Amino acid sequence: MRLDLALIALHPELSRRRARDVIEKGQVSVAGRVVSEAGHAVGPDDDIQWDPNRKAVRRARLSLPILHADETILVLDKPAGLLAVPTAPGLEDEDTAFARVKEYARHLNPRRPYAGIVHRLDRDTSGALAFALSPEARDALRALFREHRMDRRYVALVRGAPAADEGTINRPIAEAYEGGRRHVARPDEPARPAVTHFRVRERFEGGALLDVRLETGRQHQIRLHLAHEGWPIVGDPVYGTAGRGGPPAPRQMLHAALLAFEHPLTGALVRAESPLPDDFRRALGAMRSGTTPRSRKTGRPPRRR
């Protein structure tokens, strides 16, 4: 349940607007820690406390949608086209999600602001992106990534389609990075393990919509793995179908739809979900348009009844 709705259930005298207001003021805690995001997911056994006498925290606004926020962790809904982090050291003036989070942290805690990078998304990949608001949270979140305890789910629109409804791609990725590209490693070259799980959500004539779950998080992993298997992402200018036919797409149709994990400092479940953005929906609609969806089991058009 959303935190604002859970709070109203405990305090029926609160309106929806008032509940959001006291949460944003920092007057509500979950399991002993202040949570300032009304949409924060809580369970039926979570200890939720409202202290109307607690001094309101300084309000900080961020120019990006917030999927989850508490005192130590922030998950944003990054739009396509915005860099996650600077492209090189010394380019801190670039407009990036990280720069905006640092500004947010300065407003949130003027005396000791902190923003830490946890992971990255490619510039033209949209969706859930996490940052830490304390060094302890940064180290703990990075450990979750290293230990594969972070549930990361993506949605990809691809040309071609897997024969099976689900499967796993286990192909190491070479350490070499040349011309903005990575490649699946040959047996004799240095490489890092890379594992991608996929499931076909919907089939079309000439393409498919895939749910993708990352087990490892190498740079360009999903884009490279899917292209190597013969299912390049629609609109991908490096590994995919940009300029090679298919539905119109202004960028690669890859979206980080979910980040879910146990909060490393509180033990609470964090589940940050990002809806499909408009450009993805338009490309998906174009793929569907004028075609008959195929049966997920047989790959053939369903029988008419």
Beta strands in 118-189 (DSSP E): 126-132, 151-159, 166-170, 173-174
- In the set 70, 77, 122, 236, the catalytic residue is 122
Q: Do 247 and 241 form a contact (C-beta atoms < 8 A)? A: no
Q: Do 28 and 35 form a contact (C-beta atoms < 8 A)? A: yes
Q: Is 122 a catalytic residue?
A: yes
What residue type is 22 in one-letter code?
A: V
3-state SS, residue 293: coil
Give CA–CA dist 42/44, Å, rounded. 7
Which of 226, 200, 196 is closest to 214 using CA atoms? 196
Q: Do 61 and 120 form a contact (C-beta atoms < 8 A)? A: no
Angle at 77 between CA 51 and CA 65, to 5 degrees: 50
Give CA–CA dist 30/161, Å, rounded. 44
Quote the crossing angle between the two packed helices 16-24 and 3-10, to the nearest 10°.
110
- What residues are labeled active site? 122
